[in-house]
Amino acid sequence: MKRLPKINTPLPGPRASKLIKLDGTYVSPSYTRGYPLVAKKGSGAWVEDVDGNSFLDFTSGIAVCATGHCHPEVVKAIQRQAEKLLHMSGTDFYYTSQIELAEKLALLAPGNDGKRVYFGNSGAEAVEAALKLARWNTKRELNIAFFGAFHGRTMGALSLTASKAIQKKHYNPLVPGITHIPYAYCYRCPYNLEYPGCDLACVKWVEDTLFRTTIPPEEVAAIFVEPIQGEGGYIVPPPEFHKELSETARKYGILYVADEVQSGMGRTGKMFAMEHFGVDPDMMTLAKGIASGLPLGALVAKSDIMEWEAGSHASTFGGNPVSCQAAMKTIELLEQGLVDNAATQGAYLIDGLKTLQKEWECMGDVRGKGLMVAVELVKDRETKKPARDWRNEIITAAFRKGLLLLGCGENSIRFCPALIVSSQEIDTCLSIFGEAVKEVIES
């Protein structure tokens, strides 16, 4: 039988209201909660709150619960490992699960060169490791990243991030020597050009202008880039973008670092999003979906690049045995069909959103790959004026109707359900999303 969201109380309900008040007293106010969901349990693509309301989750905990909430096989793998060994620290000792996961990731990563893996606990830690390894390997001090990029919030990762100024406010000085450049955001081309007539001016600008006028390429260690920009708005660059940019990088001995923290682990319908672009990056950062919800970050680098000496970098908890087992089971499930499901259901979702787009002028752009999908909201299609207020109101209206969504970029809504999502659940999402758009636009 088709499952539908069930909202039995005003939102937030009485138990949620009490907990939110307590949170206000004791929890850091730096978190950004868009709406008052207080989760109690989850199963598949569904989340129940503390008042017994049931929501269809198209956020999967910010693109983390790749196999769905509490996938029974992942839970079993966690339980089995938890009974045997909770922690030993890969920094000082060896243990099976870390070695086996490193082998698995090394073999899965795009390209035929040998790979090595460093483990941390989060996306930011994976990026931090990449920033350090880029310096260590090249002995160069400068780096390039993109406007709109999100790479994390620790000081190094934050220095690469250029998503929202609030994320950097009062934290300067950050890591020096990072230059941000425009991303290939074709819906709002920073050069006012149109693909393919633009001839990828955004890539050519790097060599013709940036390297000629501002930063000597032989001093650049790495280009950090999201294959598909995530927090920045789920922006899919043109098919040749990464190939051309990585070739420019290679020409000057600059490392190409793909931040796959959000786009990796099957989300885009391929194991890693860079596979859509035919590029084998020198380094790749992973986290989020890798362990279905357990904390784990990984930096996968070509073996001849990851040659730093003992003591150069490490983390007590990184690559914890329980997280590693959750990752092994997650990857098994991804390989057994979930990556394909992401491709199939993602196409179905995009189709459904494009149908809705015909009805609603405010849906300026529908874009994505696999289950990394976004709708950009505009006041009208001619001016493309960003409709940030409508975006936020639509997300809130969807929540009240039992659908969990998240924003991204200035005025986009992202759809990043678990990779186990079914077409029926997508139909339910589309129907609630359509009602939410109608409610906001006609009010």
Q: Which is nearer to ligand PLP, 97 or 122 (CB)?
A: 122
CB of 192 to ligand PLP, least distance (A): 27
User: Looking at 145-153, 210-218, 392-400, 425-433, which segment touches ligand PLP (CB under 6 A)?
Assistant: 145-153
Chain residues 330-359 in contact with ligand PLP, contact rule CB under 6 A: none
Alpha-carbon distance of 71 to 61, in angstroms, equals: 14
Structure token digits, residue 132: 């350090």
A 10 A CB-CB count for 184 gives 25
Alpha-carbon distance of 115 to 305, in angstroms, equals: 9
CB of 64 to ligand PLP, least distance (A): 8
Which contacts qualify for 191-195: CB closer than 8 Å, 24 or more apart? 195/238
User: Looking at 42-50, 134-142, 147-155, 312-320, which segment touches ligand PLP (CB under 6 A)?
Assistant: 147-155
HSE-CB at 50 with a 13 A cutoff on CA atoms is 13
Of all residues in this chain, which one has the CB nearest to ligand PLP in the complex?
A: 123
Q: Which residues are bridge partners to 407 per DSSP? A: 413
CB of 285 to ligand PLP, least distance (A): 7
User: Looking at 149-157, 215-223, 267-275, 380-388, which segment touches ligand PLP (CB under 6 A)?
Assistant: 149-157
CB of 167 to ligand PLP, least distance (A): 11
Q: Is 378 in the site for ligand PLP (CB under 6 A)?
A: no
Structure token digits, residue 70: 């509490």
x/- site string to ligand PLP, residues 24 to 43, per CB under 6 A? --------------------
CB of 413 to ligand PLP, least distance (A): 16
| Of 5, 12, 152, 217, the one binding ligand PLP by CB under 6 A | 152
Q: What is the DSSP letter of 165?
A: G
Name, in order, each residue with C-beta under 8 angstroms of 306's C-beta and a sequence gap of 6 or more: 115, 116, 118, 133, 137, 299
CB of 61 to ligand PLP, least distance (A): 11
Q: Which is nearer to ligand PLP, 12 or 346 (CB)?
A: 346
CB of 425 to ligand PLP, least distance (A): 23
Q: What is the 3-state secondary structure (H, E, C) of 82-151?
A: HHHCCCCCCCCCCCHHHHHHHHHHHHHCCCCCCEEEEEECCHHHHHHHHHHHHHHHHCCCEEEEECCCCC
Q: Which residues are bridge partners to 144 per DSSP? A: 179, 223
| DSSP class per residue in 324-386 | HHHHHHHHHHIIIIIHHHHHHHHHHHHHHHHHHHHH-TTEEEEEEETTEEEEEEBS-TTT--B
Alpha-carbon distance of 425 to 431, in angstroms, equals: 10
Chain residues 94-133 in contact with ligand PLP, contact rule CB under 6 A: 122-124, 127
Count of helices and strands (H, E) across the chain: 13, 15
CB of 395 to ligand PLP, least distance (A): 17
- Total residues interacting with ligand PLP, rule: CB under 6 A: 14
CB of 257 to ligand PLP, least distance (A): 11
Report angle CA 429, 49, 398 to the nearest 5 degrees.
30
Chain residues 210-269 in contact with ligand PLP, contact rule CB under 6 A: 226, 230-231, 259, 261-262
Return the axis-axis angle of helices 339-359 and 423-441, rounded to nearest 10°: 30
Backbone angles phi, psi at 171, to 5 degrees: -105, 0
Alpha-carbon distance of 155 to 242, in angstroms, equals: 26
Q: Which is nearer to ligand PLP, 261 or 356 (CB)?
A: 261
Amino acid of residue 363 = M
CB of 223 to ligand PLP, least distance (A): 14
| Of 55, 150, 211, 224, the one binding ligand PLP by CB under 6 A | 150
| Of 287, 296, 395, 404, the one binding ligand PLP by CB under 6 A | 287
Q: Which is nearer to ligand PLP, 230 or 281 (CB)?
A: 230
Q: Which is nearer to ligand PLP, 13 or 346 (CB)?
A: 346
Q: Which is nearer to ligand PLP, 277 or 390 (CB)?
A: 277
Binding site for ligand PLP (CB under 6 A): 122-124, 127, 150-152, 226, 230-231, 259, 261-262, 287
